Structure 1
Amino acid sequence: MLQDLKLRDFIEELGSSSPAPGGGSIAALSASLASALSSMVFNLTIGKKEYLEYNDAIKEDIDTSSKEVSLCKKEFLNFMEKDTEAFLSLMKAYRMPKVTDKEIKARKEAIKKGNENSQNIPFEVAKKAYKLYCYIETAVNYGNKNAISDAGVAASLTETAIEGALLNVKINIRSIKDEAYKKKIADECSNLLKKSTDKKKKIMKIIEEKLK
């Protein structure tokens, strides 16, 4: 599994001539890293003096956010694996024999399923990564002030995860013949990307104000 590789080995594998892991897996990894950084900020916050002075509602927000990002970092690592598996499965489908009618049908079905997975997995990554902004905003507003820059990096990684995942969605819908469906997905991608950009800008504005 990719997540079990040493960092140096993972980087070497990524830079090799193998097309997988690729951008989709890195988008998921970026979301996992964003989750981990957010988790660090919360771990540097909970139980500290400033945290103890917050009211119960804010403490609950911090505690809930901390639990969620801890779960997310593992979930996105699994998405990293799934994205690579989906791509390899699609490539395998294209290499299936296509001589008899039965083989042609089986190959066509395998390619269809592979295309769906290659589209759905990064789309799911993008949508789930967007939810990270809510937790990151909590970290920015109430987290350890000395770690606010780390929350900013988490926001940047989240934006990268979303943009990267959506690029993979777009490239994988090119083969779809249903133009209405393609437009629907493309519009959803554009809307999510705009929401992501706006949310990241809002978070970075808060950070910049706090760093003055």
Structure 2
Amino acid sequence: MNDGYEDVLEAIASDSPTPGGGSVAALSLAHSYALATMVVRLTLKSDKWAEGHSISEKLLVQCETGMPRAQELAVLDAEAFDAVIHAFRMPKGSDEEVSAREQAIAKGYLEAANIPLNTAQVSLELMRSMFPFASVCNANAITDLGAACYMAHTAIVIAILNIRINIGFMFEEDSAPYEQIVSLIENEADDLVSLTMNVINNRM
């Protein structure tokens, strides 16, 4: 059960700034995919839940594609912020070096915002799929789907924290589109978690 977990947790707990919150957001998404996959398979396993088989098959494809992508995003997030740290350590003894450093910092923060944005977008796609699935999935695993829903929502909340701090270092004209997208994701995710959990609670 704990194979691999200890190494991941130790890496997060280290005195290095990476992996940090952005990677944890992506790992939360990976756990959401894993839980949703389990509920899908338990639904497909029995004819009792035949009404949910069609949506289960579609969701299974989404999860099997999404889980490795979420793990990849966890790595990419750490690499993106490592690039920011490296950029700040670049020499600034000449005008050329200062310019190169500033460009590297700007590029680093852009990528450090784009990776968690991707995490948030993919998490929202999963939440959109789990909402209709909640009505027809195996009722014996309904709380596991609730956990998956909360994990995807948590991934979005954490990812947005990272997006907002990183766009804070950008020029306003560059950061404004991010804030618009983030607000839309945030509002829809909040609505979806409420709607999905309402269905789940009514089936318990």
Q: Report the TM range for the smaller structure's normalisation.
A: over 0.9
For 1:23, which of 16, 21, 24 is the aligned residue?
Answer: 21
Q: Which runs of 5+ in 2 are unaligned?
A: none
Corresponding residue SS for 2:19: coil
* Percent of aligned positions that are identical: 31
- Which residue does 1:118 correspond to in 2? 112
Runs of 4+ displaced beyond 6 Å:
none
Does the 8 A contact of 1:90 with 1:115 survive in 2?
A: yes
The answer on 1:194 being equivalent to 2:194 is: no
Structure 1 residue identity aligned to 2:176: K
Residue 202 of structure 1 deviates from its aligned partner by: 0.2
For 1:10, which of 8, 11, 14 is the aligned residue?
Answer: 8
Residue 95 of structure 1 deviates from its aligned partner by: 0.3
- d(CA) in 2 for partners of 1:129 and 1:27? 9
- TM-score, length basis structure 1: 0.90
- Which residue does 1:75 correspond to in 2? 69
Residue 68 of structure 1 deviates from its aligned partner by: 0.6
Q: Which runs of 5+ in 1 are unaligned?
A: none
Report the count of equivalent residues. 202
- Which residue does 2:121 correspond to in 1? 127
CA RMSD of aligned residues (A): 1.5
Residue 40 of structure 1 deviates from its aligned partner by: 0.5
Change in Cα spacing, 1:33 to 1:39, as seen in structure 2 (3 Å) is: same
Corresponding residue SS for 2:44: coil
- d(CA) in 2 for partners of 1:199 and 1:116? 28
Residue 144 of structure 1 deviates from its aligned partner by: 1.3
For 2:140, which of 140, 143, 146 is the aligned residue?
Answer: 146
Residue 175 of structure 1 deviates from its aligned partner by: 1.3
Structure 2 residue identity aligned to 1:210: R
Residue 138 of structure 1 deviates from its aligned partner by: 3.9
Structure 2 residue identity aligned to 1:182: S
Residue 174 of structure 1 deviates from its aligned partner by: 1.0
Residue 21 of structure 1 deviates from its aligned partner by: 0.7
Structure 1 residue identity aligned to 2:189: S
Does the 8 A contact of 1:62 with 1:138 survive in 2?
A: no
- Which residue does 1:61 correspond to in 2? 55
Does the 8 A contact of 2:43 with 2:53 survive in 1?
A: no
- Which residue does 1:162 correspond to in 2? 156
The answer on 1:204 being equivalent to 2:197 is: yes
Corresponding residue SS for 1:143: coil
Does the 8 A contact of 1:130 with 1:162 survive in 2?
A: yes
- d(CA) in 1 for partners of 2:151 and 2:45? 27
The answer on 1:183 being equivalent to 2:176 is: yes
Corresponding residue SS for 2:43: coil
The answer on 1:99 being equivalent to 2:93 is: yes
Does the 8 A contact of 2:124 with 2:189 survive in 1?
A: yes
- TM-score, length basis structure 2: 0.93
Structure 1 residue identity aligned to 2:30: S
Residue 121 of structure 1 deviates from its aligned partner by: 0.8
Structure 1 residue identity aligned to 2:15: S
